[in-house]
Amino acid sequence: MMHTISVYDPGHFHAALLLNQSNARVNRTIHVFAPPGRDVEKFIALIESFNSRDEDPTDWHLEHHIGPDALEALVAERPGGIVILAGRNGPRLALMHRLHDEGFHVLADKPWLTDSANLPHLEAITAKLPLAVDNMAGRHSAFAKLRNAVISTSAIFGELDTSAEQPALEFTSRHHLMKLVGGQPLQRPAWFYDSRIQGDGLVDIQSHYVDHAQWIVGEGHRFDIDSDVEIMAAERWTTPVPLDLFRESTGESAFPDYLSHAVEDDVLHLPCNGRIDYRMRGVRVRQYCDWGPREAEGGGDLQSFTARGTKAELTVESGPETGFQPEMCLHPDEALDLSAAAAQWRAAFPSLEITATEDGGHILRLPTKDQVGHDAQFPLMLDQFLDLVEADTWPADLMARIRTRYTLLARALDHCSAVK
């Protein structure tokens, strides 16, 4: 089946990454509907860079529909039945509701909301076809799949420890306002710094962590927010953004008027950091994310993950000590023979390397070529979405998982209304 795709108002590079590789199921003509401006210009330039690269170039033809009434043009012209959204998060659910009512399948970047006021739209678009699916490309990471395989090996890991004082699952990361993407400095739109549009530290990166927690504790489970989730604590705080950093990261000369409420003495106080503690199906989870001004030279985002089991602890680290490549370490409570488990894991991950450490732990490595990097995960996500479109069904577990994910984040935000 050949699909014609429209991209509406692409304000984030994730919209382009979905088209980072050619796809035999997608019509080579991609329709771009957007108001004029830098956001759509950057999207077009990125697609053109995919077409012109030396290795494995794409062959997309962009049909431009640029104008102030781009949404009405999309609905009226309807070149295809699929719409990709990535960019402004605040108005997203209302927009998705409109597209859903018009009969479009939508693949949308995270997060879908910046407050709880839009939850009625969430209920509507996850009640019936057409599809409304969020872009959780991280599920296509080979390293994440290996992590889950280890956790599910009860002979080695046991069960997630629900009795300990510490969380059984803990996600931590530091991202950066100035960073490199594809070797080039990422220039952010000015609205990225408006938490009412972009979302704050309790809904943005946190959406991925909720998805991973759901993946670990209930893959295939039909989640229910009221019976499966208990929010224990939540907090958010600001990162100071001086005017010179704002200029460098956006190309703008001054803070726009719509940010004046958060600016004091030429410093923007951005509420981009957050922590959420909750229980999901009885498993205690902690999610922590903060933002620094700029990544170190040759560096990237810092991320760590810990899963505490009744027989072992599993950690994943990515930072300067690991060359910004994920490194997994299994720490069993007592000496264990890993041979049977290793054979089981290698059936799915043939290149897996396991090295014993002096303290009785085991480092698990996948060669870089087998890890499925960040950019390569997005075309896989598009393929998965096309499978759902062709099946013409809303999987009940996926529908419930999405609804639960964003309701959890909205409730966490309401749980913590103040900003430190």
CATH of domain 5-138+376-392: 3.40.50.720
N-to-C CA span, the chain = 51
pLDDT tens readout for residues 263-280: 999 999 999 999 999 999
Mean per-residue pLDDT, 36-51: 96
Q: List pLDDT tens digits, range 178-229.
A: 987 766 778 899 999 999 999 999 998 999 999 999 999 999 999 999 999 9
| CB-count burial class (<10 Å; 0-12, 13-18, 19+) for 367 | exposed
Whether 370 has a pLDDT exceeding 90, the answer reads: no
pLDDT digits (tens, 9 = 90+) for 307-353: 999 999 999 998 888 888 889 999 999 888 899 999 999 999 999 99
Distance (Å, rounded) from C-alpha 67 to C-alpha 70? 5
Structure tokens, 170: 């803990």
Helices (H), 22-82: 38-52, 70-77
Q: What is the mean pLDDT of residues 90-118?
A: 96
- Gap between the Cα atoms of 335 and 360, Å rounded: 7
DSSP 34-45: E-SSHHHHHHHH
Least confident segment among 112-121, 249-258, 286-295, 410-419: 410-419
Residue 335 pLDDT: 84
Tens digits of residue pLDDT in 371-395: 888 899 999 999 999 999 999 999 9
Confidence category of residue 95, pLDDT binned at 50, 70, 90: very high
Dist CA 25 CA 165 (whole Å): 49
Q: Residue 46: which pLDDT band, with cuts at 50, 70 and 90?
A: very high
Does residue 418 surpass a pLDDT of 80?
A: no
Mean pLDDT of the chain: 94
Task: Specify the range with the lowest mean pLDDT, choosing from 4-18, 72-86, 292-306, 308-322.
Answer: 292-306
Report pLDDT for 304. 96
For the segment 250-270, the average pLDDT, to the nearest whole number, is 96
Cβ atoms of residues 243 and 254 within 8 Å? yes
* Res. 420: pLDDT tops 70: no
pLDDT confidence of residue 419: 65
Report residue 120's pLDDT band, with 50, 70 and 90 as the boundaries.
very high
Outline where DSSP puts E strands in 59-181: 61-66, 82-85, 105-108, 132-134, 169-178, 180-181
Residue pair 70/9 in contact by the 8 Å Cβ criterion: yes
Statement: residue 257 has pLDDT above 80 = yes
- Give me the pLDDT at residue 417, please: 64
Tell me the domain boundaries of the chain: 5-138+376-392, 139-375
Q: Find the length of the chain.
A: 420
What are the tokens at 332?
């069993």
Task: Name the class of domain 139-375.
Answer: alpha beta
Per-residue pLDDT at 155: 95
d(CA 382, CA 377): 9
Query: Quick one: pLDDT band at residue 164, thresholds 50, 70, 90?
Result: confident
Report the pLDDT value the prediction gives residue 336, as an integer from 0 to 100: 83
Q: Give the pLDDT score at 320.
A: 84
pLDDT band at 81 (very low <50, low <70, confident <90, very high): very high
Helix (H, G, I), strand (E, B) or coil at 363: strand
